[in-house]
Structure 1
């Protein structure tokens, strides 16, 4: 197995630069998990594949306004701080002070120990938030720093919403639309640097229809990091160091999955982040060694799913189209086969599907299930 096995030619004009005008009106490529057979549908048609007893599991995390554009104090030179995850610091967290791991730009002028501070101004021109570069992040792979955030406003949350921007993937350029369209309609706590994009296609009405068809809707939370967009640089994908993310699987979701399995229903993961959450929470020692899904509260995972990996929980997958040579291409290939996935991508490109985060979707499931068999 080589990383090049998960490469494909992605025409730049097919990379969606804005979301579909109607969330559930995008295209849906349905693929038989075993045979690779394909159907071209519209996303809202996913209801046709639902059967009573199924449980959909979605990642309810919300994207932080993590992109901060400001100026270096003392020089007024343009600077950017991109918040990745909250970190431990030498002083306690308060409403107005916290430490974060972050990417900074320009890196050469914002080095730890230099006293560098970046100020961020609100719409009225007042400094609402400041970031002091205090240290290198432990195990940082791209020169991440630890920054000390501080504000004179009542809270850091208020300050972030006064100056921050929703980060978009690097392949989306000059998007000037509604940033809320890069949030799922069911998102809750702000904890991610990127959206769980498979969920962008669902509307409240579509979720209602799924439940009316006899399925259950449950959630997990995985704090999505920027590494979700990274390509694998190593020729041998097994040598790639998988990033660590934090996930939560509540007891109610564990119970819903258990009921679905006992009744013959399927566990349908909405997005690869839901897959990683559920499969990370599988404990092979639980249930007297039979293995079971267990509840977790902000546990760490670096689960890396490659062809040959076992899936203990997930039976079907809603997913977007992914960047070539990425760990996500490897995950979906593991869920079906590399050949099926590459054939599906070739079909999507030939049929001019819209690709990546703002693009169209796939539903990978077993044939013959629901009211629209292959």
Structure 2
């Protein structure tokens, strides 16, 4: 595998096209429809028009993970404020975190949560960019709900609000555990999901706990090892069975988001053309030279330049086609990134356009 020249995946985006707040209504964001193998390209004024490109028998698959309030503000004894992202509990009471201004912390320093002042932590160690904290009391998702904040992306450059608590979750989210939202699903409303069902389009759920690696920069080691950050996923038995029936029946499988696609591709065995149910961990790094065989369509937002997600989308469709579509979207003033507009990559059915 040749090392990708990341400069090929760079682009200039005006600051005003970075969507730092959600659209007024979820399904009123704009939609760009791109043929995966065909030269089809069409702009739609609202995401709800996606129904015009789907047909009975299509199967949408979405990541139903829920975003945890893992963004916690901590105060030192001198009242210095530190923003911490709690990534994982490596052993009981020991947490791997990313802390802004961590250079100002020393091993042994004590910290309290800002919201309640009742949860204490001590700095146990520092490992590369991570800070290891020992918690003075047990932390679970319910306690993060008390002391934490919704971990909106860093490029929002603002504090999270009560609106983010609602809008940075999909309407079908269930189990907590992610530090970032599966943002392609943010465009769906309960009404739109009901319409899908009414016209015979399936909607399945799996779970992939989105990690902070989603925002990390790519390095040469990623390319050399062809591995990214590891994320845990779970595909229910019923979901796998329906997916396998769809494959056998030649129904179109459409992934709602890149995190869903990462789980689908990790669980799919192309030799027997079947998905495997159960839990797993994936560090899959999909690049433009790779073939993606698990699904036929992809719903996705517009991603950060030089990111692993942009490379994944460029693996799903032809690289230059994706870059051309991004240029079109920039020229047409589409909104970008997590709260931005949407793209459907799917060869449209001839009878539907």
TM-score (norm 2): 0.92
Give the match for residue 9 of structure 1: 12
Change in CA separation of 1:260 and 1:13 when aligned onto 2, cut-off 3 Å: same
Moved over 6 A (4+): none
Give the match for residue 93 of structure 1: none
Structure 1, unpaired ranges of 5+: 90-97
Give the match's secondary structure for 2:192: helix
Give the match's secondary structure for 1:132: strand
Give the match for residue 108 of structure 2: 115
Structure 2, unpaired ranges of 5+: none
Change in CA separation of 1:177 and 1:350 when aligned onto 2, cut-off 3 Å: farther
Matched, 1:338 2:319: yes
Q: Is the 8 A contact 1:222 1:277 kept in 2?
A: yes
Offset of 1:30 from its aligned partner?
0.4
- Distance (Å, rounded) in 2 between the aligned partners of 1:105 and 1:230: 15
Q: Is the 8 A contact 2:68 2:141 kept in 1?
A: no
Q: Is the 8 A contact 2:53 2:348 kept in 1?
A: no
More helix by share: 2
Matched, 1:32 2:35: yes
- Distance (Å, rounded) in 1 between the aligned partners of 2:266 and 2:228: 13
Offset of 1:176 from its aligned partner?
4.1
Offset of 1:29 from its aligned partner?
0.2
Matched, 1:172 2:172: no
Q: Is the 8 A contact 2:226 2:285 kept in 1?
A: no
1:1-374 paired onto structure 2 within 5 Å: 1-41=4-44, 42-72=46-76, 74-89=77-92, 98-111=93-106, 114-122=107-115, 126-136=116-126, 142-151=128-137, 156-174=140-158, 176=161, 178-179=163-164, 180-234=166-220, 237-238=223-224, 241-284=227-270, 289-297=271-279, 299-368=280-349, 372-373=352-353
Give the match's secondary structure for 1:127: coil
Offset of 1:239 from its aligned partner?
6.1
Change in CA separation of 1:238 and 1:25 when aligned onto 2, cut-off 3 Å: farther
| Residue deviations 1:252-292 (CA, integer Å, cap 9, x gap) | 111111121222211110000000001011235xxxx5242
Q: Is the 8 A contact 1:321 1:356 kept in 2?
A: yes
Change in CA separation of 1:302 and 1:235 when aligned onto 2, cut-off 3 Å: closer
Give the match's secondary structure for 1:33: coil
Q: Is the 8 A contact 2:33 2:343 kept in 1?
A: yes
- Distance (Å, rounded) in 2 between the aligned partners of 1:244 and 1:291: 24
Offset of 1:208 from its aligned partner?
0.9
Q: Is the 8 A contact 2:210 2:231 kept in 1?
A: yes
